[in-house]
Chain A
Amino acid sequence: MEARAATREAGIRFGRVPAWVLGALPLLLAALAIGGFAALGGPGLGERAGPPVEELAFERTVLEPGRIVLHVRNDGPDPVQVAQVTVNDGFAQFAMDGTEIGQLGSREIAVEYPWVEGEAYEVALLTSTGGTIAHEVPVAVETPDTDVGFLGLLALLGVYVGVIPVALGMLWLPFVGRVGENWVRVLLAITVGLLGFLALDATLEAVEIAGEGAAVLGGAALPFLGAALAYLALTGVDAHLRARAGRARDAGAAGATLALLVAVGIGLHNLGEGLAIGSAYAIGALALGAFLVVGFAIHNTTEGLAIVAPLAGGRPRLRRLVGLGLIAGAPAILGAWIGAVAFNPALAAFLIGAGAGAILQVILQLMPSLRDRAGRALTPATVAGIAGGAAIMYVTGLLVSL
C-alpha cells in the first residue's frame, strides 16, 4: 500500500514534465555514464591480456593473369598488420594500401603470382605478430571482366534459369483450371512441398555461406535476420492486399493475392539462386555453367506450377500472368549480376535467407487453401501432395546441388 502511494506521488510529480524529456532522460544519463567511463579510462578494467586478436575474412577473390586479388575484411576486435604474403609456401610480391587494416576495414591485396589455370593455391597473409591467415583458391580460373557483354550474358543466364522455366511452368494454368476442387487441393499441397524443400535448402545454403563471411557483420545470424525481415515484409504486403481485395469483393481476389505472394516468395528465392549461379560463373564454372543452367531450368519449371495453382478458381488476364512470371523469375537476373560482380558472403547469406523467410510466409498463406469441406488441411491426399512436391524438388535438385 505504501509503495503504491509512493509511485502515485512520483507519477504526479513527473506529470508536469513534458513527455519527450522523460523519453530522452535515460538516453542522456546513459550517454553521461558512458562518457564519464571513457573519460576516466574505464576504471577497474585492465588491458586485455595476450597478443592482438587477428581475424580477417576473405570476401572475394579475383584472378587476373599473373595476379591474385584478395578482398579482405578485418573481422576481429584489433587492427591487423599484413606484413608479408606467401602463395603455396613461397613469399610473393603484393600491392596493398598501407599495411594496417583497421577494425571492420577492408582492403584489396593484389598478389603477383604466375598462377596456372586449374591448379589449387593457398594464399597466406603473414601478420606483424607472425600469425598466418590462409585462404584457399581451390581451382584457379581467370575471373571474367565485368563489361557490358558479360552482364548481358548473365542477364541471358538469368532469363534461362528464372524467367523461361517459370513461364513454362505457368502453362499448367489451363490444366489447373480444368481439374476438380480436390485435385486443386492436391496441386496446392504439391506446391507447399516444393516450397518447403526450397526453404530448407535455402536456409542450409545461407548458413553455409554465412560461415565464409565476416562474423562481425552478423555471421550465422544473417540468414535468419533476412528470413525474419522477408517474412514480416510479406506479411505486411499480404495484409495490404487483403484489405484492398476485401473492398473490391472480387471473386478471384483471394486466389490472385495468394498467387502474387507465391510469386514474390519465389522471386526472392530466385534472387538467391541467381547469386549462386553468378558467383559460380565468376569463380570459373564457365564451361559447366551450361549444365548448371539446364539443371536449374528443370528445377524451376515446377515453380511456375506453384504460382498458378492458387489461380485455379479464377480467370486471370494475360498481363497479370506475365507480371507474376516476371516477379518470380526476373530476380534471377539481378541475383546473377550481384553474384558475379559484387559477391559478398554476408550479403549473399542475407539475401538467400530472405528468400527462405519469404517462402515460409507463402507456405503459411497456402495452408488454409488445402482445407477440405470438413476443414482438415492434412488429408491423405494433401499429405501425399506435400511429400510429392518435396520429392520433385529433391530429384530435380540433384541436377543442381547436393
Chain B
Amino acid sequence: MASLTRRRLIGGLAPLVGAAAAARLAGVSPAGAAKHEHGATAGAAPGHAANHAAFRRGGRVDHRANGFDPHAILRDFDAGTVRREGGRTVREWTVVAEDKEIEVAPGVKFAAWAFNGRVPGPTLRAREGERLRIRFVNGSTHPHTIHFHGIHAAAMDGVPGLGAGLVQPGERTVYEFDADPFGLHVYHCHTPPLASHIAKGLHGAFLIDPKEERPPADEMVMVLNGFDTNFDRSNEVYAANSIPFAYMDEPIRVRQNELVRIYLANMLEFDLVNSFHLHGNFFQYFPTGTSLQPAEFTDTVMQCQGQRGILEWRFPQKGKFMFHAHQSEFTELGWVGFFEVV
C-alpha cells in the first residue's frame, strides 16, 4: 500500500527532519500516548486464547450428504467376500471409481474422485497368504487405475502401459495377486497427473494381517489427507479421514486400559511430510506394520507421502487427549482431534 511505503521511508528519513518540531508534534498527539499503553495487550482478546482453531461456529460438514462419516470410516474394515478355490482362500472386492462432489469444510464443496463413494476409499483387509482379487470398475469420466503397494506381478501393478494399463471410463479390469507381505499398505490411482489423481480422493488403506494374529485391540484406521480446493498445489484443509476437525467436534471414544491400535497411513499430497502426535501418552510404533516387534516408543511419528505404520498404546487415565499433526499449520487447518477415554 502506498501509505506504508511512505511510512517506512519517513521513518528512514527521521534523522534529517527537525527533531525538535517532531518531538513537539508527537507530544501534542493524545493518540500517540494512548498507543504505548496498548502495546503489551493489543490483540489479546479476553477468553479467546482458550479456543482451538475451528470452523465458523455452528458449522458442520453434512456427512449424510457426503455419503460417508469419518467416525464410521474409522472402524470400518472391508473384508470383501471369501471363497475357496483349489484349497486356497480367495478374497474378492469390487471397487468402483466415480466422480463425486463432497463437502470438505462446512459450506465448501470439492469435486472429488472417490473409490466406492468415499474418501478415503474402503480399507481393504486380508490375511497374509490369501489370494486377492479386486474387480475395478471405472465409473468416472476420467481414466483411472488402482495401484496396490505389495509384492505382485508387473501386470498387476496398476500403472499405465503395464497389464490393463489405464482403465478408460466405463471399462473394468481385475487386479489379482497374493496378500504379501503382511503389514499396513496403501492403494491409489496411478494415472498421470499423479498428484492430482491421488489428491482428488483416489486413495485408501490396504491392510494385510499376519498369519499369527495381533493381540485383540480397539482398531482404527486413519488415512491422513487434505484437499487443494483452489488448485494452487497446496492444501487448504487437512484431516485424518478427509473431514477437518471431525474428531474435535465429536471425540473418538475409547475405553480406559484397553489396547488401542491405529493403522496410520499418510496419503497427503503437495506437502512432503505429515505426522501424528499423541497428547498425554506414548505409543509403540511398527513402521509399515511388517514386523511384530515395535521399532520405537514415542509420542510423535513422521511419515512422508505414502509412508504408513501401526501405533499401539493404552490410556491409563480417563479424560480427553488430543492428537494431531505436529506440523502446527496442518493442525490449525483441520488435522486435529480428541480421544475421549471413558
Q: Is B329 engaged at the interface, CB distance under 8 Å to the other chain?
A: yes
**Interface residues as binary, B37-57 with A (CB distance below 8 Å gives 1, 0 otherwise):** 011011111101101011111
Considering the complex, give the chain A residue whose CB is closest to the CB of B334: A91
Evaluate contact between A132 and B236: CB separation under 8 angstroms.
Answer: yes
A286 to B29, CA, bound (A): 9
Evaluate contact between B48 and A66: CB separation under 8 angstroms.
Answer: yes
Which residues of B in the span 33-86 have a Cβ within 8 Å of any Cβ on A?
A: 35, 38-39, 41-46, 48-49, 51, 53-57, 59
Evaluate contact between A90 and B110: CB separation under 8 angstroms.
Answer: no
Q: Is A67 engaged at the interface, CB distance under 8 Å to the other chain?
A: yes
Q: Which of B3, B5, B9, B45 contacts A279 (CB 8 A)?
A: B3
Which residues of chain A come closer than 8 Å to B107, judged between CB atoms? Answer: 81, 83-84, 99, 128
A141 to B39, CA, bound (A): 9
Evaluate contact between A291 and B14: CB separation under 8 angstroms.
Answer: yes
Evaluate contact between A289 and B2: CB separation under 8 angstroms.
Answer: no
Considering the complex, give the chain A residue whose CB is closest to the CB of B234: A89
A115 to B42, CA, bound (A): 7
Which residues of chain A come closer than 8 Å to B31, judged between CB atoms? Answer: 144, 149-150, 153, 286
Given the contacts A91-B55, A126-B229, A287-B35, A83 and B43 also touching, CB distance less than 8 Å: no
Chain B nearest Cβ from A335, distance in angstroms: 13
Considering the complex, give the chain B residue whose CB is closest to the CB of A140: B43
A144 to B13, CA, bound (A): 25
Chain B nearest Cβ from A79, distance in angstroms: 13
Q: How many interface residues does A have (CB within 8 Å)?
A: 64
> Which of A90, A140, A141, A283 has the most chain B CB atoms closer than 10 A to its own CB?
A90
Q: Which of B4, B35, B56, B329 contacts A85 (CB 8 A)?
A: B56
Evaluate contact between A86 and B6: CB separation under 8 angstroms.
Answer: no
Given the contacts A130-B110, A279-B3, A280-B6, A84 and B42 also touching, CB distance less than 8 Å: no
Evaluate contact between B10 and A128: CB separation under 8 angstroms.
Answer: no
Q: Is A238 engaged at the interface, CB distance under 8 Å to the other chain?
A: no
Considering the complex, give the chain B residue whose CB is closest to the CB of A208: B2
Q: Is A78 engaged at the interface, CB distance under 8 Å to the other chain?
A: no
- Give the tally of cross-chain contacts (CB within 8 A): 184
Q: Which of B22, B29, B41, B56 contacts A291 (CB 8 A)?
A: B22
Chain B nearest Cβ from A23, distance in angstroms: 46
Evaluate contact between A131 and B230: CB separation under 8 angstroms.
Answer: yes
Which residues of chain B come closer than 8 Å to A401, judged between CB atoms? Answer: 2, 5-6, 9
> Which of B43, B56, B245, B332 has the most chain A CB atoms closer than 10 A to its own CB?
B43
Which residues of chain A come closer than 8 Å to B230, judged between CB atoms? Answer: 130-132
Q: Which of B4, B22, B30 contacts A153 (CB 8 A)?
A: B30
Evaluate contact between A112 and B48: CB separation under 8 angstroms.
Answer: yes
A91 to B23, CA, bound (A): 42
A153 to B29, CA, bound (A): 7
Q: Is A374 engaged at the interface, CB distance under 8 Å to the other chain?
A: no
Evaluate contact between A130 and B6: CB separation under 8 angstroms.
Answer: no
Chain B nearest Cβ from A369, distance in angstroms: 33
Evaluate contact between A92 and B53: CB separation under 8 angstroms.
Answer: yes
Which residues of A in the span 114-134 have a Cβ within 8 Å of any Cβ on B?
A: 114-117, 126-132
Which residues of B in the span 12-29 have a Cβ within 8 Å of any Cβ on A?
A: 13-14, 16-18, 21-23, 25-26, 28-29
Evaluate contact between B1 and A212: CB separation under 8 angstroms.
Answer: yes
Chain A nearest Cβ from B217, distance in angstroms: 33
Chain B nearest Cβ from A289, distance in angstroms: 7
Evaluate contact between B3 and A295: CB separation under 8 angstroms.
Answer: no
Evaluate contact between B26 and A399: CB separation under 8 angstroms.
Answer: no
Which residues of A in the span 75-104 have a Cβ within 8 Å of any Cβ on B?
A: 81, 83-86, 89-94, 99
17 additional A-B pairs beyond A91-B245, A283-B3, A285-B7, beta carbons within 8 Å, are A66-B44, A89-B333, A91-B54, A112-B45, A130-B108, A138-B4, A142-B42, A142-B43, A149-B30, A153-B31, A205-B2, A212-B1, A285-B4, A288-B14, A290-B23, A290-B29, A399-B17
- Which 8 A/B pairs are nearest by Cβ-Cβ distance? A66-B45, A130-B229, A90-B332, A83-B107, A280-B3, A290-B25, A115-B43, A285-B7
